[in-house]
Every structure is written in C-alpha cells, then in structure tokens.
Structure 1
C-alpha cells in the first residue's frame, strides 16, 4: 500500500493539539478536533471510550466528553448506554451516501485515469465495492479499434477478475468466507476462480505484490491488471487497466508499473 504522507488521526491530532502555537491561525481548533475525533473511528478501531480517546490524542478528558456528547447529539456518533463506548452514527452514513451519489471519488481520480490512458492506450476503470461484487464508478475507453468498454454503474461479480481481487484481498478472511463461501461461485470461463480457497490464495499473492493480473476470468478475451486504492487505511476501490489479452499480456510489465503508480496517486487523492 503506497502512502505519500502520514495522514493518520494521531498525526493530525499532534499537528493541531500538541500546542496552540502549532495550530494555524486560519483553523478553528474546536472544529478541527471534532474532525480528528471522527477520523479516529476506523474498521480496525470502530469504537472508543472517552478515556481511551483522550489518552490517544493527549486531550483533556472533560473536553473529549463534551466533544463526543456534541457529536452524538448531531447523530455523528452513537453511545452504548451500558458500555458508554461510542461508534459512528447515522449522520456519517447519510453523508457517505451523498458523497457517493455526487460522484466525489470519481472526480478526484479522473486525472489519474486520463494519464493511464495516455500511458497505456488501454481502457482504465475505477471500481468500488458493492456487496459481494464491485461497481464501475468511472472509466475511460482505450484508443485502439479493438478495446474493452466499461459501463459506469455496471455491477460485476467479485470473484471473477483482477478488479475484484484487488478489492476483496483486503477484506477480513471471515468476511471473505461469508461473502463467497455461502453459495457455489459461478464459472464464467475456464480460468474463473470458483472456490474460496483459490480466492484466498490469489488474495495472499496480490497483497504481497501490491497488484494482481487476471487472464480471461470473466471474459476469456480480456486481460486485466489491477491495484488497490485506499482511503484512510481502508480499501476503497481498485484501479484497473483492461483490454484485449494479446495486447495487455504482452505489455504487462510496463502496465503494472503504470497501474501501481496510478493507484498510489488515487490513494493520495482520496486523502489517505
């Protein structure tokens, strides 16, 4: 996973709260602290207690209590009445839906897609998770007379092809087994992976290399090279160059480097 800078919640807190003199004069400290608190909630750390969050960021406990109470009142957090621990609330989901429908993520990476098209001449696709599959969020078509055309909004099966592998490789194994092990996986071509164990093996190799390639797993005439795109340390999308097998396979080494660089730039654009 490529990172261009430390954009973690802890780093943000240290830059804004370790001393008032270090807070830029144009930044409203209370609002900045609220945003840092929200960014502290991740898939790896989905809930916090007041004391934990105060220690993590070096904040006063009473200030954290007021901050979390305020965010809870506006629906950005919920508080378990028994454990007194906080989790993200419905207001966050509502904003996420608004952001998705407004096309925020695709707009951030359009320059990356355009650059990859110039560098490779093949179609470039940004895919985002959608249940047990993935959805095309943005795409540009290749320039050749024979090319792969992606339809924005189209849903694809998660187990067939590098685009899906680059997304689901970063899911917890238990979730992978629940998603792909409940029913028999459909075979589209002779190279489609149809077992959870085969998927887990492919995912392990993809995580090790940072990219993946598939040869005709969904469409037997197509080869795809894909790399993961992250947001705040969590898988957000995959970036894929895809085209006729005879062309993409022959230029695989060059395309791999372009895709990896593009995925790193997309990750930076998403704010990782």
Structure 2
C-alpha cells in the first residue's frame, strides 16, 4: 500500500496521464481530462511538460498525443534477465506454434492481474490479448493460479479485501484454489468474457515462489474443456522451463 504522505501530487498526475496510453495509443487533451478527472488547464501544463521531455509527442494536425521516443529509450534498458515479459517470449512463441492458440503471461498487482506479454494465435478467429490489460482476481484461470500459488498470508489478504465482489463466494473460491494446487493448473469457460476459454499454469522460480501465470486462451467453440485438459500438461511443462530461467525472487506481488 502506498504512503500518501510521501507522494507528490504533480508527479502522480503526470503518471496518471502516461497510464492513459495503456488503454489506447492516441488521446486528445479533452479525452485525457475526462479520463483522469483533472481540469483541462492542469492537463495542458502537464502535457506540455511531458512533450518537452520527450515522453509524449503531439500531432500538430489533429492535436492528439502519442507516446514519445523517450519511453522507448527507457524500455530498451529493461534487463532481459529480470523482465519475464522479455525472457519468456521465445518459450511463449514456441507454445503458441505448438497449440495454435493465443498465449499470455500475467502477474498479480494488488487485487488485479496484468497481462505483461502476449503472443496471438495465427487462427482467423482468435483471442485478441492487449498487453497491459488489467482484470480482477476473482474470475478467470490466470487469476486463480496467481492466487492459488501465492503465500497463505497473501491468499487470505486477497480473499478478505473489502473490494472482493459479493457475487463470488469465498468458500467456493477457496475450494477451487485447493483443486488448482492439486492439479497444477486451472481452466475457465466464459467466467470473465463471453465466448472465451482459458487454461493456465503457474511459473515458479527455483524457490517455489510464483513469478507469473502462463495462459492459453481461445474461443469456447474451439478451446473446449476436453481440449484444455489435453493442453494442460504441455502448458505446465512450458511453465516449468520458464521457471528454470529465473534466478531471483517472485515477480507476482
């Protein structure tokens, strides 16, 4: 939990603006103001600052903003040995080619899971998986894997969080987590999104701590329960290989 006493409001607002670009690539000043709840004059001053530092660039014809090249300069310095989104990409591509469905990688961030990497299926009808998307922990195969393999203290904190949806029974969810730990993977059909199925397995480091959830997803008509059960051993094996690549501690938090 962040300590509000030590946050800088101007920095928070600038970061809120940058985080808009997780959702789409172009924004107008008015759209950013509406999305962040900030007034236009504040947004304008921050946009000018961010543009001046190279974090955003403005199209003079449309007056819309996009991410600037300074963002890419920062991302170029991510260490492949530390960043699972980079480190695991070749294994994810191999799994996609083998199973012919979309492969995603998720970490937990508080009460949400975040897709940090995705390799989309080459099928005509496929699951589109935007990187950076955030989803609740109460539903979905990947969410349940991230919670099932968290520490007991973390699991209880998640289940007892005030934001936990009343529509999801905690005791039933606990039973599902026990079954996932027993089997080593989770499946879901249309739990979060109509028409979509997913099967996920944990990526554990050498200390047995969860780093991420590796998931394969697709349309329910093609990714049936039977098909997901047949995919599970190969997904778990890919997750084991990924875990062996990592030296340090857990990423999912």
TM-score by length of 1: 0.57
Residues of 2 paired with 1:101 and 1:269: CA distance?
Answer: 11
Q: 2:148 aligns with which of 139, 144, 169?
A: 169
> Once the 2 structures are TM-superposed, how far is the Cα of residue 140 of structure 1 from its aligned partner?
0.6
Q: Does 1:265 align with 2:226?
A: no
Matches within 5 A, 1:136-215: 136-183=115-162, 185-186=164-165, 194-215=168-189
> Once the 2 structures are TM-superposed, how far is the Cα of residue 210 of structure 1 from its aligned partner?
0.7
Q: Which has the higher contact order (CA 8 A, sep 6+)?
A: 1
C-alpha spacing 1:175/1:116, structure 2 compared with 1 (3 Å) = same
Per the alignment, in what secondary structure is the counterpart of residue 194 of structure 1? coil
Contact kept? 2:81, 2:246, Cα under 8 Å: no
Aligned pair count? 170
Contact kept? 1:132, 1:180, Cα under 8 Å: no
Matches within 5 A, 1:63-82: none
> Once the 2 structures are TM-superposed, how far is the Cα of residue 168 of structure 1 from its aligned partner?
0.7
Q: Which runs of 5+ in 2 are unaligned?
A: 1-76, 249-253
Over aligned residue pairs, what C-alpha RMSD do you find?
A: 2.3
Q: 2:100 aligns with which of 121, 124, 135?
A: 121
Per the alignment, in what secondary structure is the counterpart of residue 242 of structure 2? helix
Structure-2 residue corresponding to 1:216? 190
Q: 1:131 aligns with which of 88, 91, 110?
A: 110
Matches within 5 A, 1:53-92: none
C-alpha spacing 1:115/1:207, structure 2 compared with 1 (3 Å) = same
C-alpha spacing 1:263/1:153, structure 2 compared with 1 (3 Å) = same
Q: 1:240 aligns with which of 207, 215, 232?
A: 215
> Once the 2 structures are TM-superposed, how far is the Cα of residue 101 of structure 1 from its aligned partner?
10
Contact kept? 2:158, 2:164, Cα under 8 Å: no
Residues of 2 paired with 1:101 and 1:268: CA distance?
Answer: 14
Contact kept? 2:187, 2:197, Cα under 8 Å: yes
